[in-house]
């Protein structure tokens, strides 16, 4: 394992390492802006992009660097269905709500991929679809049930048996079949978010990196945001898009009881043998009900998950500079068992990322209850890339129009959690 057994300090994620270094952007802002967005990840940057194109004056504030945290610390999969099998979505939310949710994620996938091409953002997009592997006969039965439901809904898919899997993915061992889903993709998440931020900036949006907001006063139309460096910004509206840190600036106390942090962990193998790398497609891949997830990046393989296997499941942790050695060991054991040919490449690096969760597993997009002029676009439960670009557009619609015609919008409204 190349001396990774007891490593506790995390490595730099491959997406941030490949992005290189540049000087922080810190624009001067004169007077009041229409909108201040707190958080420079996929949600905040997408909201800033859409708000600027809607004609608002916008300031995007990030305490570190754009995409340096959750948006640069995932594995870059654009998924459909929250990673959950469709039968489980229907069981939890009912058919109509699940249908609307799936359609929203489909539209986000299409919109994200179209934006990458139209805006010419270099982020290594691979549009080969996704495969859910079944780790057990019971999971395969659930994939079969999902396939039946998806067939009725007209959702493109292919149900694979164990023999199909042996033919299509002979490098994968110990699985019982799979469900192939069109419309899923992989990319370099930090490169996409930073590319989108660059376009927003060129179109007149302001960016303040290395600037941490520590206090908010005033109300709708006349907010004052104070930063750690002493800067004071005036704004008409605010969007909280800082993921697990959003509760820190919510004066209503709503988020304190609705959002919880948890840490995910990913390892990256060394360079795979050329013959193996050529056999593994660039699918978005997962198994064990998406508790483990993996993909190819160039001639390497990322593998994440296993937080469920340690005490506390990494819930409540906000430190993404460290990793859990026990999780690293279990990820490595999983790799040796299920993709044994890749194990010979060893481990190149291991990193972690902090995600924000909600009790029903759905994000928060819309006004904070009782806080006129303050909005949320956060808590994607680990599926920010599957929601983010369109979530930003939805947030703008709710700010500017007070409503949205998208049938999934009510499922993301923060007020749904009142009284839960």
Strands (E), 312-416: 347-357, 364-367, 374-378
Cβ atoms of residues 387 and 108 within 8 Å: yes
Structure confidence by residue, pLDDT tens digits, 145-166? 999 999 999 999 999 999 999 9
What CA–CA distance (Å, rounded) separates 37 from 317? 24
**Span 361-418, pLDDT tens digits:** 999 999 999 999 999 999 999 999 999 999 999 999 999 999 999 999 999 999 999 8
Per-residue pLDDT at 4 exceeds 70? no
249-259 pLDDT tens trace: 999 999 999 99
Predicted confidence at residue 420, as pLDDT, reads 61
Mean pLDDT of 184-198: 98
Architecture of domain 20-73+190-258+360-417: 3-Layer(bba) Sandwich (3.50)
- Residue 375 main-chain phi, psi, to 5 deg: -125, 160
**For residue 290, how many C-alpha atoms fall within 13 Å in the half-sphere facing its CB?**
19
Nearest to 44 by CA among 238, 248, 259, 265: 238
- Helix (H) / strand (E) containing 161: none
pLDDT tens-digit readout, 192-217: 999 999 999 999 999 999 999 999 99
| Cα–Cα distance, 5 to 13 (Å, whole number) | 18
User: For residue 322, what are its two tokens?
Assistant: 């460290």
Question: Among 296, 293, 292, 294, which Cα is nearest to 276's?
Answer: 296
What's the CA gap between 161 and 49, in Å, rounded? 43
pTM, 2 dp: 0.97
């Amino acid at each position: 394992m190349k001396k990774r057994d007891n490593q506790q300090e995390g490595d730099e994620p491959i997406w941030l390492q490949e992005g290189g270094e540049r000087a922080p952007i810190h624009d001067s802002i004169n007077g009041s802006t229409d909108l201040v967005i707190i958080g420079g990840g996929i949600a905040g940057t997408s909201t800033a992009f859409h708000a600027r194109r809607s004609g608002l004056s916008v300031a995007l504030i990030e305490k570190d660097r754009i995409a340096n945290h959750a948006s640069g610390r995932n594995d870059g999969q654009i998924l459909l269905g929250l990673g959950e099998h469709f039968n489980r979505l229907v069981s939890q939310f009912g058919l109509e709500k699940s249908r609307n949710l799936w359609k929203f994620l489909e539209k986000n996938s299409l919109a994200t991929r179209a934006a990458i091409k139209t805006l010419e953002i270099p982020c290594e997009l691979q549009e080969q679809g996704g495969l859910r592997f079944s780790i057990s006969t019971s999971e395969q039965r659930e994939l079969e049930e999902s396939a039946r439901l998806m067939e009725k809904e007209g959702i493109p898919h292919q149900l694979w048996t164990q023999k199909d899997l042996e033919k299509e993915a002979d490098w994968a061992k110990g699985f019982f079949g799979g469900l192939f889903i069109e419309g899923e993709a992989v990319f370099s998440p930090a490169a996409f978010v930073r590319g989108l931020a660059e376009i927003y900036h060129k179109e007149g949006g302001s960016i303040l990196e290395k600037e941490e907001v520590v206090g908010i006063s005033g109300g709708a139309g006349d907010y004052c945001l104070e930063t750690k460096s002493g800067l004071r910004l005036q704004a008409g509206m605010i969007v909280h898009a800082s993921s697990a840190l959003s509760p820190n600036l919510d004066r209503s106390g709503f988020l304190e009881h609705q959002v919880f942090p948890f840490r995910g962990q990913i390892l990256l193998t060394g360079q795979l043998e050329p013959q193996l790398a050529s056999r593994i497609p660039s699918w978005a891949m997962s198994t064990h009900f998406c508790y483990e997830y993996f993909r190819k990046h160039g001639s390497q393989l990322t593998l994440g998950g296993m937080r469920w296997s340690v005490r506390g499941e990494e819930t409540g942790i906000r430190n993404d500079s460290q990793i859990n050695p026990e999780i690293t060991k279990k990820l490595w054991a999983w790799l040796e068992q299920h993709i044994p040919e890749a194990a010979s490449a060893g481990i190149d690096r291991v990193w972690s990322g902090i995600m924000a969760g909600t009790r029903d597993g759905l994000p928060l997009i819309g006004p904070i209850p009782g806080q006129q002029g303050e909005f949320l676009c956060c808590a994607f439960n680990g599926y920010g890339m599957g929601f983010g670009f369109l979530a930003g557009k939805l947030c703008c619609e709710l700010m500017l129009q007070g409503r949205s015609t998208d049938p999934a919008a009510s499922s993301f409204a923060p007020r749904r959690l009142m009284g839960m």
